[in-house]
């Protein structure tokens, strides 16, 4: 009984092995689902793979009709010639020209681009095929049989044709650019400097298209290069004049709004939009304003450097000049009567600048605005710092929280000497000041331009975070053996102050050689965690907060 069972099992295993072997053989030899065979008997010539010099080969897609494949091959060759020449035409426009064989219905908003595109289209449509090679193919896809045509065409494009094309191209571009250049010169003579700069820039962009053409005889493009050199020189000469001209117009406008002349004025901070963030552009604008004020008889500028020194000595911020609660007026010490400050806004091709003149005792005196074309700015001129978005996040999370439960009579202030929106350049020393109107306990956080958060106070040198009411404290102070010196990376930075009438329950610990405690990265979750630890566990009525923003530049 057992012997028969063993024999039956052996036969069964043998059968399984045989079936598996047959299955593997069948699978391994399975024909592909799609097969293609060339039906045409005529051999493919050598030129599709090795075209002679001065010729281009067009290759069609697969078409069921030979005539359509021939047209597609010619279109492909013409596109290759356009690519070779380096001519820039929008793909949908070029496809329309090559498909319809017409240029009269090409619609491009820009008049110059429209004219150039039509000229190129008319020239490229003259290109004809020298010979064709057609191949018929058979395709079997999952048992379904179909046929298609693939066509190659050989198109000559000789040196003479090339030069003729370039000559037409250059002639058309020069014809279109010359009246724009003439209009730019006229606008400059009429003191319409913004229009003049925009037209010079337009001339350069039009002429630049011609220089992109490949492999041309140098003499053919000499008219373009000559006109380009004139336009470039005129624009470069105009750029600094334009900014100073706009500033002088603003200063004259402000002068008409004041009665006491000359008015002793100092330049305040110029920030981006409705934020306290600034950039290299803000610093550049302050410098240009200083030059403009020195040329005006209506104003007498007080050096910002002198003002900053007084602010540090008096332990005040720039806002202290126009703060009616300030007991010691730095404005009075220097004889400053007004502060000139502003904001700027990105408006596409231009930057809109708003300037405000405020009397240190009576308040707002006047305002003016101007447009600065971006083409007048250097390529590395930033309107916002590289960490603009992360700085906004830190401001929103640190400073955008509702202060529910905060006592109205309990205030903490934190500032830097140059005030909110102040700009510090590489190598400058920075001092952070803070003051409360109540005895309290304080924590001070700094978010740098790299997105790191440090606890500045308390720190390794000042572990006691209790501060007295009415006293101005600073980091560093006269007893510190360190300075805050501006160095890379540059960008916008945030100081956050959190004060409590009760001691913070979180213990302070510092790592080895750690002067300021690291609080991690400035992520939304981390900032909320810091605020929860410092504020959420305290009675809200005994908490006050403040925030200060400044920017560092190279």
Q: 406 and 356: one domain? A: no
Is the model's pLDDT at 190 over the cut of 60? Answer: yes
Q: What is the pLDDT of residue 17?
A: 40
Taking residues 8-33, what's their average pLDDT?
47
Q: 123 and 218: one domain? A: no
Q: Report how far residue 89's alpha carbon sits from residue 78's, in angstroms, rounded to the nearest whole number.
A: 13
pTM of the entire structure?
A: 0.67
Q: What range defines the domain where residue 533 resides?
A: 388-553
> What pLDDT band is residue 507 in, cutting at 50, 70 and 90?
low
- Final residue before a domain boundary, out of 96, 128, 157: 157
Taking residues 351-375, what's their average pLDDT?
89
**Structural domain contains residue 466:** yes
Q: What is the pLDDT of residue 359?
A: 85
Helices (H), 409-481: none
- Picking from 38-47, 147-156, 223-232, 497-506, which range would have the lowest pLDDT averaged per residue? 497-506
Is the model's pLDDT at 229 over the cut of 70? Answer: yes
Q: What is the pLDDT of residue 122?
A: 72
- Each residue of 524-552: pLDDT tens digit? 777 767 766 666 544 556 888 899 999 99
Q: Is the peptide bond before 455 cis (omega within 30 degrees of 0)?
A: no
Q: 468 and 395: one domain? A: yes
Q: 446 and 359: one domain? A: no
- Each residue of 470-488: pLDDT tens digit? 999 998 888 888 889 999 9
Which residue's structure tokens are 């619609």? Answer: 107
Q: How many domains does the structure of the chain reveal?
A: 4
Q: 530 and 427: one domain? A: yes
Question: Which helix (H) or strand (E) covers residue 412, if one does?
Answer: strand 412-416
- Final residue before a domain boundary, out of 320, 353, 376: 376
Is the model's pLDDT at 19 over the cut of 60? Answer: no
The three-state secondary structure class of 394 is: helix
- Each residue of 337-354: pLDDT tens digit? 888 999 999 999 899 999
**Structural domain contains residue 31:** no
> What pLDDT band is residue 325 in, cutting at 50, 70 and 90?
low
Question: Which helix (H) or strand (E) covers residue 136, if one does?
Answer: strand 131-141
Is the model's pLDDT at 68 over the cut of 80? Answer: yes
DSSP-assigned beta bridge partners for residue 134: 151
Q: 229 and 208: one domain? A: yes
Bridging pattern class, strands 422-425 and 440-447: unpaired
Q: 397 and 546: one domain? A: yes
> What pLDDT band is residue 25 in, cutting at 50, 70 and 90?
very low
Q: 505 and 403: one domain? A: yes
- Final residue before a domain boundary, out of 246, 281, 307: 246
Q: Report how far residue 263's alpha carbon sits from residue 290's, in angstroms, rounded to the nearest whole number.
A: 14
Torsion angles phi and psi, residue 308, rounded to 5: -60, -35
Domain containing residue 418: CATH number: 2.60.40.2550
Q: 331 and 394: one domain? A: no
Domain containing residue 276: CATH number: 3.40.50.10610
**Structural domain contains residue 164:** yes
Q: 394 and 519: one domain? A: yes
Q: 151 and 205: one domain? A: no
Bridging pattern class, strands 543-553 and 422-425: parallel
Q: What is the pLDDT of residue 307?
A: 76
């Amino acid at each position: 009984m057992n012997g028969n069972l063993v024999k039956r099992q052996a036969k069964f295993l043998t059968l399984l092995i045989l079936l598996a072997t047959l299955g593997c053989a069948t699978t391994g030899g399975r024909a592909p689902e799609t097969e293609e065979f060339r039906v045409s008997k005529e051999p493919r010539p050598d030129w599709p793979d090795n075209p002679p010099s001065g010729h281009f080969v067009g290759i069609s897609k697969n078409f069921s009709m030979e005539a359509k494949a021939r047209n597609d091959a010619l279109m492909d060759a013409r596109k290759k010639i356009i690519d070779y020449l380096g001519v820039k035409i929008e793909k949908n426009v070029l496809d329309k020209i090559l498909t319809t064989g017409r240029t009269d219905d090409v619609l491009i908003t820009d008049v110059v681009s429209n004219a150039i595109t039509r000229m190129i289209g008319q020239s490229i449509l003259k290109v004809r095929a020298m010979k064709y090679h057609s191949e018929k193919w058979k395709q079997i896809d999952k048992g379904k049989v179909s046929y298609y045509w693939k066509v190659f065409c050989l198109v000559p494009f000789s040196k003479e044709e090339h030069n003729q094309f370039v000559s037409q191209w250059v002639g058309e571009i020069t014809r279109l650019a010359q009246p724009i250049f003439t209009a730019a010169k006229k606008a400059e003579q009429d003191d319409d400097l913004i229009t003049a700069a925009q037209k010079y820039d337009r001339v350069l962009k039009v002429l630049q298209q011609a220089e992109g053409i490949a492999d041309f005889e140098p003499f053919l493009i000499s008219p373009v290069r000559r006109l380009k050199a004139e336009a470039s020189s005129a624009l470069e000469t105009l750029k600094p004049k334009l900014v100073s001209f706009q500033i002088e117009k603003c200063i004259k406008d402000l002068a008409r709004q004041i009665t006491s002349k000359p008015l002793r004025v100092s330049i305040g901070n110029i920030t981006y939009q409705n934020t306290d963030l600034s950039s290299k552009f803000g610093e550049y604008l302050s410098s240009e304003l200083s030059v403009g004020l020195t040329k005006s008889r209506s104003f007498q500028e007080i050096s910002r450097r002198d003002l900053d020194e007084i602010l540090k000595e008096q332990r005040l911020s720039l806002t202290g000049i126009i703060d009616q609660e300030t007991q010691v007026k730095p404005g009075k010490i220097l004889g400053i009567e007004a502060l000139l400050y502003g904001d700027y806004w990105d408006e596409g091709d231009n930057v809109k600048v708003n300037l405000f003149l405020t009397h240190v005792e009576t308040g707002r005196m006047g305002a003016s605005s101007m447009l600065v074309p971006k083409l007048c700015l250097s390529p590395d001129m930033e309107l916002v710092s590289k960490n603009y978005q992360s700085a906004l996040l830190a401001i929103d999370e640190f400073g955008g929280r509702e202060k529910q439960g905060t006592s109205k009579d309990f205030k903490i202030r934190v500032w830097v000497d140059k005030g909110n929106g102040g700009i510090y350049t590489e190598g400058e020393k920075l001092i952070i000041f803070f003051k409360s109107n109540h005895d309290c306990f304080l924590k001070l956080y700094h978010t740098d331009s790299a997105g790191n958060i440090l606890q500045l106070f308390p720190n390794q040198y000042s572990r006691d975070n209790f501060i007295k009411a009415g006293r101005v404290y600073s980091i560093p102070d006269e007893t510190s053996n360190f300075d805050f010196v501006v160095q890379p990376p540059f960008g916008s930075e945030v100081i956050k102050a959190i004060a409590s009438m009760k001691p913070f329950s979180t213990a302070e610990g510092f790592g080895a050689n750690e002067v300021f405690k690291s609080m991690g990265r400035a992520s939304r979750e981390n900032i909320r965690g810091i605020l929860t630890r410092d504020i959420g566990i305290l009675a809200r009525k005994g908490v006050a907060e403040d925030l200060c923003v400044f920017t560092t530049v190279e």
